[in-house]
Structures are given as structure tokens and as C-alpha cells.
Chains A and B, each alone.
Chain A
Amino acid sequence: MTTASDIVSTAEAEICRPWLRHILPHAGWTALAYASVAEQWILLAHWADTAQAHALFLDPAALTVVPVSTPIENGCYPALSPFLPGAAWYERMIHDLWGHAAEGGTDARPWLDHGTWPHARPMATRPEARSAGEPPLLAGAGQDGAMILPHGPIWGRLDEAAHLRLTLDGPTIQRAEALLGFTHKGTLTLMRGKSPRAAARFAARLSADATVAHSVAFAQATESAMDIGAPPRAAALRIVMMEVERIAAHLDNLAEVGRLADAQTVRTRCGLLRETLLQASETAFGHRLMMDCVVPGGVATDIAEGGPEVILRALGAIASQLESVRRLHDGAVLSSRLSGLGRTGAQLAASLGVGGVVGRASGRAFDVRSLLSLGYGTLTPRLAVRTNGDAAARQHLRIFEIEESLRLVSLALDALPDGPVTVALPHVSGEGIACAESVRGDVWHWLRLDHGQIAAAFPRDPGWALWPLAERVLENAAADDADIIRASFALPASGMDL
């Protein structure tokens, strides 16, 4: 039998750093999709440009990343979704943005395109003008007399704009369907034709609580494409920022889930600790969320004088309270509320490539920081995994990861190398891929440069894997638990709406 690796290694390749991108004919592309299931390869991302469809796989056995492409012929390419169900949303996105049809795909309904844009297929060589008309907004009516509970896109809860439709059978959710794309901002076209420095502002605004992670992956993809590296001091500062971001976002999630579970002490304490850390970030890096602080070629500015001390002081406050936060999670209120709640199946999580806390709480030992190193070098982040797959396991992992990030930040600040924090960017052409471990899991950025300018780019937010899993998990859950399950998944919208 031909293995997935055989199919890839015999194909011609284009230079893409650090992983060659192999070009497969349609038959080879389909054969790879078929073989990837048997070999448990994971589909990390799927996107297109005007001439080709692209897919990014992870070979977990060899721990290598495999980018592949297939040509678009007569507006079509063979669908991956019959083999890899997680590909369906990507195929719908590709159709809406480029107009390419996934032949044999499992779902051809629109995704990002709600009928409101002035053009159909806005990223195609020739977008198609569309007559203006009022878009059909989501109908609330249910089929077969079933009770439908529509949520969003506007929740009135300081939340992301997404639509979740729950079909109820009494108090139980029978079916959950997510409709996204509301926050589609045309990010990919805005990035096109810009210098990497200018385009980085859009990478930083894909998803705010992962702004540093997205910025780092975008910057490193640019640097890979240019075959350069950020200076050591910048690399170390990026790690500090990524870990500070992780701590702040985990604290935010603990506070939010605590609020929904009526654990006010957790909410208050974690909310305040997070605030202390954001103020320290502002002092050290000039921005509370560290937005735009990481740029291709390095970091925007050096850490402020006295910045390390301010950060360490905030971390000290968090460290001193973490044990009590953990005890509160073991206490009666939270453990009885969260145990068994929103349980994820290990197999589904793995096949969808769900990473982050949600993946690790369902037994998937995947964290790109430790697996692909990425400049962490001797810091070696420790990885914790649980197998319960419930909300309690997720919150406990968040606490563990805060503790681990506290350690990593202190180590990185302790050994901060001297030297410059940026390098000049050459005006070259090339292609690069990079990833970073965000608070929700692995983010991946691919981009192609043409004489120093972005010709094409695609960012893969963890939401692409999280939402399909959340839909399944919500099924059979109690309708009253939907909010807290969603919160414990930390479901994003903006990052995958593009």
C-alpha cells in the first residue's frame, strides 16, 4: 500500500521554508487524503490562492509538517471533506473567498459570504459584481415543530459575534449548529500587497487574546520566507510576551467560567490578578494586550527600563494566589459544577486536530512549544495532559499552565540576552510557514512574499478545530449548561472569520 509519505515524497516540490510544499495532481491529492486517515495525519489548515488549493498536514509519528497543493482546474479541486470531516468549513471558506469548488465535498453551503458583500468571491482574479440586496438574515423558525434556541450573533454579553443554534428536545440539546462569518473583515485582502510590517497589524488583530501568538507566527513565517532570523534578544522577549499573554488569557477564562459557575471569589481574584498583569504589560511593553509589540524582524521596542521587575512583581502576586485558586477549583462549588461537564471524546478531538487546553484535557499531548521547539530551546515547557475531557480538567490544566508560564517568564527574563531587537527586512521573494502555541492551541501562518511584499497569506486560528468539536459536545448537553460549556472551550470567532 502506498503510504502518505510515499505520495508526498515522489511529488515535485516548491521552496517553502522550513518545509517544502509538494504539488500533487488531483489523483495524488485524493490518495493523500485517503492515506492520511489511516495514518492519523492531522489536517492543520486548508486554504487556497488563485491557482492552487493548499493543505497543511501534521504527521504525528514523524513529528513533521507537510504542506501540499493541487492545481485548480476548471474552477475545481477534489474535496478533502469526504475523508476529513474537519475540512468542510475550510472548503466553504475557499468557495466563498476564491470561488473554487471542492468537488465531491460534503457541504456546499456558504460560510463567510452572507450575501452582503458588493462582490462575490472577493479574492478571485476577477471578483463577480453582485447587485445590492438586503441579505436574508438567519431565520428563527424551527423545522418539524422542534424548539430552536437561537443565540447571537449579538449576545449582549461582551462576547464574540457568532450564531449558535440549539435544537432542543425538552431541556436537552439535540443538535447544535454554529454559523460564523459575521465578523469577516476581509483581512486577507487587506494584507495583500503590503509590506510585512504593515500587514502585521492585521495579524495582530485576528483574535485579541492571541494577538502575540498570531503576531509571532506571522513574524516567523515572514522571517522563514526571507531566510533570516530575529535577534536573540527579540526571540527571548517574544517568549516573555507569549507566556504573559497565556497567563492573562487563562486568568480571564478562569474568571469568566467562575462567574458563570457562581464562584464569585474565583471571578474576583482572577479578574484582579489579570488586571495587575495587564498593567505590568503596559509598563513593560507599552500596551496592555501587547498588540503590535511583535513585528517581522524582531519586536517593536525593547522592554522598558525596569520592565522586567514590574512583570516579575505581577507574576509574584499571581504565584502567591494560585494555590488558593486551585483549591477553590477543588472545592464543592466548582468541582460539582464542572465535573463531567462538556466532556470531549479523545478520538474526535484528536482527529479534528484540536490542540490547546481543550485537546490536552482530552488526552492529546500536543503543544508546539515543546514539540517543535520554536526558540524555547533550553526552557523546555512542561506539558500536562488529562484524559477526563471535561470542564473541570480544562480549568485545572489552565491553572497548571499559568504556573508553568510563570516559571518560563522568570527564566526568560533572567537570561535575557543583550543586543539589538530588530533586523532589517530584505526585499526578497519566498514562502514561509510558522506556528505558535496560543492560549487556545496552535496557530499557523503561511505566506508568500513577492519582492518584499505580501502576495498571499493565510492564518489558521485554533477556532477552526474548536468549533466543530464544541458542536458535538453540546449535543446531549443540558441547554442550561450551554453557556458554561462554551466558556470552558473559550470559543473564538474573529480569528477564523478572517
Chain B
Amino acid sequence: MTRTPQTGGGPPNPGESIDPDGSVDPETTESLSARLEAAAQTRLGRSLAIRHVNTGSCNGCELELRALSNVLYDLERFGLRFVESPRHADVLLVTGPLTRNLRTALEQAWDATPDPKWVVAVGDCAVDGGVFKGSYAVLGGTGLSIPVDLTISGCPPPPARILAGLRSLLEANART
């Protein structure tokens, strides 16, 4: 991790672009996001609707997912958005170790989502149970119950990493 350069001159201005890794470089970030925006719109031509499914999370992964909607990461400019209804979802984004008490709910959510659909397991817990592996109350990762297309590790994964994963999904989706 690189340390934030001490650029001085008071607090960062909200609205100013800050690199998700911590260093402030508005210009690079601006041009990068403009490029990505164009890519998202012209090359892919479609967006992805994401439905979140919590299978037992400590809420850490949700906190970082919430950060994705702030203006800094601004999920929507990439054509990615969260939806509440499974019927409108292209992606199930799963967080948390798969608890035995939520297995049926996850499977119901999967069944309710129309094909074709992607499943993304976000966070060490959803990848393989994380620190909760081996508990009587936990089955393990999402993959023990439904097929997983993409895993994003971290406890919790920082928003920049989640965003990178979701963008790769967007590109893969455009090719299908």
C-alpha cells in the first residue's frame, strides 16, 4: 500500500476525484473514468442489474458495497446498478459465509432470478467460509449451494477491488 502523498493545502474537496487506493490524482482518475464510461456505453451497450444476497455476513462486505454507490466509485456510470427484485437481476452478488439458516433463502433467490444469470461471491466468507469455516452453523462458501462465476476476495474487499471485479464481469457479459 502506498502512503498518501502529503500534498498539503487543506482537506480534500468533495467532488474531487481520489484514487480508490488513497493517492489523490484527479487528472488520471478523471480521464480513466471518462474512458471507462465510454467503454461501458458504446462497447458493451448494456448494463447489469445486481441483486445483493446476504448469506450470513458480519455486514462488513455490505459497508463496502454501500461505498460503491458514493460519487467516488459511482457504480452507475459503469452501467452497474443494484436492484431489489430478483426478477430484474442479471447478477446475484453474495456476501457472507453460507449459514445453514440461510441456505434455503439463497437457493430461493437463485431460483427466482431469470436465466442467464451470473453469481459473484464477494468477500472471503462468501469465497470459502472465511474465518467461520468449520462451524456447525456454517456450510462454507456460496459455491457449496449454487454455481459461482466470479469470486472477489478480501475481508472485506475494498470498493476499488469489488468494482474491478464487477467491471470484468461487464466485459465478459458483453461477449456472451
**Is A452 part of the binding interface, using a Cβ–Cβ cutoff of 8 Å?**
no
Q: Which of B46-54, B142-150, B167-175 contacts A (4 or more CB under 8 A)?
A: B46-54
Q: Given contacts A158-B82, A183-B56, is CB(A272)–CB(B14) below 8 Å?
A: yes
Are B14's CB and A160's CB within 8 A? no
Are B101's CB and A275's CB within 8 A? no
Q: Write the A91-131 contact mask toward B (1 if CB under 8 angstroms, else 0).
A: 00000000000000000000000101111001000000000
Interface size in chain B (residues, C-beta < 8 A): 62
Distance in Å from the Cβ of B109 to the closest Cβ of chain A? 6
Segment 90-145 of B: residues with Cβ below 8 Å from A: 96-97, 99-106, 108-109, 131-132, 134-138
Q: Which of A233-241, A304-312, A397-405 contacts B (4 or more CB under 8 A)?
A: A304-312
Q: Given contacts A122-B136, A161-B54, A316-B10, is CB(A154)–CB(B101) below 8 Å?
A: no
The residues of A that contact B104 with a CB separation of less than 8 Å are 134-135, 137
**Is A174 part of the binding interface, using a Cβ–Cβ cutoff of 8 Å?**
no
The residues of A that contact B40 with a CB separation of less than 8 Å are none
The residues of B that contact A153 with a CB separation of less than 8 Å are 54, 102, 105
**Is B18 part of the binding interface, using a Cβ–Cβ cutoff of 8 Å?**
yes
Distance in Å from the Cβ of A188 to the closest Cβ of chain B? 10
Q: Given contacts A158-B66, A494-B58, is CB(A119)–CB(B136) below 8 Å?
A: yes
Assembled-state Cα–Cα distance A272/B55 (Å): 28
Are B59's CB and A160's CB within 8 A? yes
**Is A320 part of the binding interface, using a Cβ–Cβ cutoff of 8 Å?**
yes
Q: Write the B1-31 contact mask toward A (1 if CB under 8 angstroms, else 0).
A: 1011010001111110010101000000000
Are B102's CB and A182's CB within 8 A? yes
Chain A minimum-CB-distance residue to B137 = A186
Are B99's CB and A190's CB within 8 A? no
Are A276's CB and B100's CB within 8 A? no
Chain B minimum-CB-distance residue to A118 = B136
Are A185's CB and B132's CB within 8 A? yes
Are A306's CB and B102's CB within 8 A? no
Interface size range of chain A in the complex: 35 or more
Distance in Å from the Cβ of B89 to the closest Cβ of chain A? 8
The residues of B that contact A294 with a CB separation of less than 8 Å are none
**Is B57 part of the binding interface, using a Cβ–Cβ cutoff of 8 Å?**
yes
Are B59's CB and A207's CB within 8 A? yes
Are B6's CB and A117's CB within 8 A? no
Chain B minimum-CB-distance residue to A307 = B3
The residues of B that contact A137 with a CB separation of less than 8 Å are 104-105, 108
Distance in Å from the Cβ of B6 to the closest Cβ of chain A? 7
**Is A462 part of the binding interface, using a Cβ–Cβ cutoff of 8 Å?**
no
Chain A minimum-CB-distance residue to B159 = A275
Q: Given contacts A271-B71, A494-B58, is CB(A314)–CB(B66) below 8 Å?
A: no
The residues of B that contact A286 with a CB separation of less than 8 Å are 1
**Is A206 part of the binding interface, using a Cβ–Cβ cutoff of 8 Å?**
yes
Partner of A291, one of B60, B72, B134: B60
Assembled-state Cα–Cα distance A181/B10 (Å): 46
Assembled-state Cα–Cα distance A330/B117 (Å): 44
The residues of A that contact B96 with a CB separation of less than 8 Å are 161, 183
Are B99's CB and A185's CB within 8 A? yes
Assembled-state Cα–Cα distance A8/B97 (Å): 42
Are B54's CB and A183's CB within 8 A? yes
**Is B176 part of the binding interface, using a Cβ–Cβ cutoff of 8 Å?**
no
Q: Which of A11-19, A22-30, A59-67, A277-285 contacts B (4 or more CB under 8 A)?
A: A277-285
Q: Write the B55-81 contact mask toward A (1 if CB under 8 angstroms, else 0).
A: 111111111111101111000000000
The residues of B that contact A181 with a CB separation of less than 8 Å are 101
Q: Write the A159-170 contact mask toward B (1 if CB under 8 angstroms, else 0).
A: 111000000000
Q: Write the A473-498 contact mask toward B (1 if CB under 8 angstroms, else 0).
A: 00000000000000000001110000
Are A208's CB and B60's CB within 8 A? yes
Are B102's CB and A186's CB within 8 A? no
The residues of B that contact A306 with a CB separation of less than 8 Å are 3-4, 6
**Is B36 part of the binding interface, using a Cβ–Cβ cutoff of 8 Å?**
no
Distance in Å from the Cβ of B53 to the closest Cβ of chain A? 5
Assembled-state Cα–Cα distance A184/B58 (Å): 10
Are B52's CB and A183's CB within 8 A? no
Are B11's CB and A314's CB within 8 A? yes
10 interchain pairs, CB-CB under 8 A: A156-B86, A183-B54, A184-B99, A185-B132, A207-B59, A269-B14, A276-B12, A279-B18, A282-B158, A320-B11
Which A residues contact B (CB, under 8 angstroms)? 114, 116-119, 122, 134-135, 137, 153-161, 181-187, 189-190, 201-202, 205-209, 211, 252, 255-256, 268-269, 271-276, 278-280, 282-283, 286, 288-289, 291, 304-306, 309-310, 313-314, 316-317, 320-321, 492-494
Known: A161-B54, A317-B12. 20 other contacts (CB 8 A): A114-B101, A118-B136, A137-B105, A155-B84, A156-B84, A157-B84, A158-B66, A160-B54, A161-B56, A185-B132, A205-B131, A208-B63, A268-B70, A271-B69, A272-B70, A279-B18, A304-B3, A316-B10, A317-B13, A321-B14
Which B residues contact A (CB, under 8 angstroms)? 1, 3-4, 6, 10-15, 18, 20, 22, 51-67, 69-72, 82-86, 89, 96-97, 99-106, 108-109, 131-132, 134-138, 155-156, 158
